[in-house]
Amino acid sequence: YGIWHPTLVVSAWMEEHLDQEELEAVLAHELAHVKRVDYLINWVALMVRDSFFYLPPVRAMYEQLQQERELACDDLVTQMTHRPLALASALTKVWLHVTETPPATLAQTLVGTQKGLEYRIERLLSASPAVQQQQKSFLFLQRIGLAVSMFFLVGCVGFLWMMALFQCWPIFPRLFW
């Protein structure tokens, strides 16, 4: 269960309101998360985000990682099913349902922000394979930049912590106290 045995749960609403192609696209999207081991990556990212909650860039990096994961799974669904319109339609229906049904806050976090969802839908509706390949290359570079930034950030915080711990840096107390 969870990390060792991922489980997909489909709501009754989805079964009733999505057609066969849309439901297949949604399931393919969720299976893409499983294939990419996104649940484990998300767990590690949550640990990093919560450990460095006091650093605003960490939250922004976490949100960017979430968006990149969704885009990568959208690309996998498009490659597997060759029906990007089905996924775009399903996302639209689910978003409309979530925003009309109170309380929507928890459900909205599962679907994503309106801006992020609009971008995903526009991307599914308009992207040609060449554009998607170019976006994948750019996303790869972004991920490398994100990883380097995270290592740098963790290294800087660790360095400052060690300097304070061993009192090797006489200015440190005057800067922060």
Whether pLDDT at 146 is above 90: no
Nearest-angstrom CA–CA distance, 138 and 127: 14
Q: What is the pLDDT of residue 130?
A: 45
| 17 vs 167: which has the higher pLDDT | 17
Note the pTM of the prediction, 2 decimals.
Answer: 0.68
Q: What is the pLDDT of residue 31?
A: 93
**Residue 109 CB partners (closer than 8 Å, separation 6+):** none
For 119-127, the CB contacts below 8 A with 24+ separation are 119/67, 120/70, 120/71, 120/74, 120/88, 120/91, 121/88, 121/91, 121/92, 123/71, 123/74, 124/74, 124/78, 124/84, 124/85, 124/87, 124/88, 124/91, 125/84, 125/85, 125/88, 127/84
Average pLDDT, rounded, for the chain: 79
Whether pLDDT at 41 is above 80: yes
Give the mean pLDDT of 31-44. Answer: 87
Give the mean pLDDT of 6-14. Answer: 87
Whether pLDDT at 27 is above 90: yes
Q: What is the pLDDT of residue 20?
A: 95
How does pLDDT run across 78-135, given as a tens digit for each residue?
Answer: 988 999 999 999 999 988 888 887 765 545 555 566 778 888 999 898 865 544 555 5
pLDDT confidence band for 174 (50 / 70 / 90): low
